[in-house]
């Protein structure tokens, strides 16, 4: 049963982000970090005592992107990732990735301790399990790989909440936290340590000159010797050709009050995927439950997925969805993509650890220090040939489907009109006020689809999201789709 459901992430509840000012003059810095999610904030944190002049610009406010909708686990026991990396590349890369995840957890723990950050960081055992007999061997392989790395792994037949599984494994030394409290506290530290932060300051272009980049930020320019793209999914095509290297996965999450005093992190290998963590807010204890995910390009409708989540007999208080960037070889892209231009993305839904380690790797690359993960994460390492057809197929399919498939019979809250040959989406709110948008995504021209649960217009091709008035919430789109009468 769903009563008084809030259609936004639990992390936004009660958080009043402190606003820093918008960029209001031209600037010259050593390093410009673009994007204030876990990646951008972590990069700035590790650079703040480097003597370099560092600025961060954020299109909305710090923590308003994908990081605000995560489940916030800090865990090295992921969704069978080590066997996947072993298969896609080799065992040594799987080991190096494991070391990066362990180091990321230590980095966050050290920062929380050193800076005395109150962000609900709690140690929780992690479980990887299956309810499908056919997946048992894959989990056994994951266990063997982790044990060969020196990790102590236990077999389980049921999870701490009593749920029976066909087979599962348990790993200690994992954590969960409140991602937005963490970012908010780090933002304060950055400001105290001379990092300049500008919010509501969107980057529209980055032009390279001989020794510097000139970035158009709102109405002003920032000249920077080095630029870090910490914006989840870059809005531009070149360099890097992101849409041809990755796909996007969207997952559905609910949170409800939990009476039992249990805590653990879990994820299944099954389809639909199940993932759980717990969060204590004052006297309230919540279970955060993720159920189901989809490649956004293969299917355009969210409704079915929210309905699947609603079928569980939980009294949900919050429900939301979130999207992450998936790479063909399960390894993130973190590193230099062009002289003095750095990128960090492709976290395969593990960005709390990978965004945290990205801060360390990018800092080392900028300062010219060695970093043992440099080659592993190198964004120019090449795309696996076998993944290319899938990426091309899903890009083309979603584009065509968004244009041709006019069956919008699932829409209850919007209607579609045509004005001057352009499709206009009209959302009517509870006060009968109409909110109109152009239905074409400014990123690459796909038609947006209405997500009735969260009341957002979502792009089925590359994951951009817009509010009912057409304001861009998540990229890669860099422009609004607000419809203006008579224009």
Ligand X SMILES: Cc1cc2nc3c(=O)[nH]c(=O)nc-3n(C[C@H](O)[C@H](O)[C@H](O)COP(=O)(O)OP(=O)(O)OC[C@H]3O[C@@H](n4cnc5c(N)ncnc54)[C@H](O)[C@@H]3O)c2cc1C
Q: How far apart are the first and last CA of the chain?
A: 44
What is the widest separation between alpha-carbon atoms in the chain?
A: 66
CB of 252 to ligand X, least distance (A): 8
Q: CA 477, 478, 480 angle in degrees (round to 5)? A: 90
- Cβ-based nearer residue to ligand X, 22 or 408: 22
- Cβ-based nearer residue to ligand X, 293 or 436: 293
- Cβ-based nearer residue to ligand X, 235 or 438: 235
CB of 163 to ligand X, least distance (A): 19
CB of 234 to ligand X, least distance (A): 8
- C-alpha distance from residue 350 to each of 67, 79, 194, 323, 347 (Å): 11, 9, 30, 12, 5
List all residues 6 or more positions away from 15 whose beta carbon is below 8 Å from its beta carbon. Answer: 63, 180, 181, 184
Round to whole Å and give the CA distance between 392 and 386: 11
Residue nearest to ligand X (CB): 351
**Residue 6 DSSP symbol:** B
From the CB of residue 460, how many other CB atoms can be counted at a distance below 10 Å?
27
- Cβ-based nearer residue to ligand X, 343 or 414: 343
CB of 433 to ligand X, least distance (A): 27
Is residue 198 within a helix (H) or strand (E), and if so which, with residue range? strand 196-198
CB of 93 to ligand X, least distance (A): 19
- Cβ-based nearer residue to ligand X, 202 or 263: 202
What is the total residue count of the chain? 487
* Site of interaction with ligand X (CB under 6 A): 34-40, 57-60, 64-67, 70-73, 202-203, 230-232, 235, 251, 253, 290, 322-324, 345, 347, 349-353, 355, 475, 478
CB of 403 to ligand X, least distance (A): 25
- Cβ-based nearer residue to ligand X, 235 or 483: 235
Q: CA 106, 111, 115 angle in degrees (round to 5)? A: 155
- Cβ-based nearer residue to ligand X, 166 or 482: 482
CB of 83 to ligand X, least distance (A): 19
What are 287's strand-pairing partners?
256, 278
């Amino acid at each position: 049963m769903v009563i008084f459901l809030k259609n936004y992430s639990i992390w936004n509840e009660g958080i009043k982000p402190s606003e820093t000012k918008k960029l209001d003059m031209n600037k010259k810095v050593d390093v410009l970090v673009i994007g204030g999610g876990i990646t951008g904030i972590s990069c700035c944190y590790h650079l703040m005592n480097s003597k370099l002049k560092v600025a961060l610009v954020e299109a909305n406010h710090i923590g308003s992107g994908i990081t605000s909708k995560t489940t916030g686990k800090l865990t090295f026991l992921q969704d069978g990732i080590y066997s996947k990396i072993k298969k896609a590349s080799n065992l040594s890369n799987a080991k190096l990735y494991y070391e990066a995840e362990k180091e990321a957890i230590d980095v966050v723990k050290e920062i929380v301790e050193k800076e005395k950050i109150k962000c609900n960081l709690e140690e929780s055992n992690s479980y990887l399990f299956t309810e499908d007999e056919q997946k048992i061997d894959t989990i056994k392989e994951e266990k063997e790989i982790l044990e060969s790395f020196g990790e102590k792994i236990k077999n389980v037949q049921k999870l701490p909440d009593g749920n029976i599984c066909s087979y599962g494994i348990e790993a200690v030394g994992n954590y969960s936290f409140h991602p937005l409290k963490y970012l908010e506290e780090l933002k304060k530290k950055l400001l105290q340590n001379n990092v300049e932060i500008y919010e509501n300051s969107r980057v529209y272009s980055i032009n390279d000159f001989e020794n510097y980049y000139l970035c158009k930020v709102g109405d002003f320019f920032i000249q920077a010797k080095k630029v870090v793209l910490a914006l989840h999914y870059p809005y531009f095509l070149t360099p890097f050709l992101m849409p041809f290297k990755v796909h996007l996965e969207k997952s559905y999450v609910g949170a409800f009050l939990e009476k039992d005093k249990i805590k653990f992190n879990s994820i299944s290998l099954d389809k639909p995927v199940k993932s759980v963590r717990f969060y204590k807010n004052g006297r309230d204890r919540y279970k955060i439950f993720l159920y189901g995910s989809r490649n956004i390009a293969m299917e355009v409708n969210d409704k079915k997925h929210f309905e699947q989540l609603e079928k569980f007999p939980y009294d949900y208080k919050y429900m939301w969805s979130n999207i992450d960037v998936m790479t063909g070889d399960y390894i993130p892209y973190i590193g230099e993509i062009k002289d003095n231009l750095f990128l960090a993305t492709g976290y395969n839904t593990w960005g709390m650890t990978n965004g945290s380690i990205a801060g360390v790797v990018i800092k080392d690359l900028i300062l010219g220090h060695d970093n043992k993960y440099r080659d592993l994460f190198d964004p120019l390492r090449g795309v696996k040939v076998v993944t290319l057809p899938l990426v091309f197929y899903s890009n083309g399919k979603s584009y065509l489907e968004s244009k041709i498939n006019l069956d919008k019979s699932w829409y209850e809250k919007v209607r579609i009109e045509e004005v001057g040959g352009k499709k206009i989406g009209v959302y009517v709110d509870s006060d009968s006020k109409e909110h109109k948008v152009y239905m074409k995504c400014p990123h690459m021209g796909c038609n947006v689809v209405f997500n009735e649960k969260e009341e957002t217009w979502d792009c089925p091709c590359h994951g951009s999201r817009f509010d009912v008035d057409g304001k861009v919430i998540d990229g890669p789109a860099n422009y609004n789709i607000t419809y203006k009468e008579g224009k």
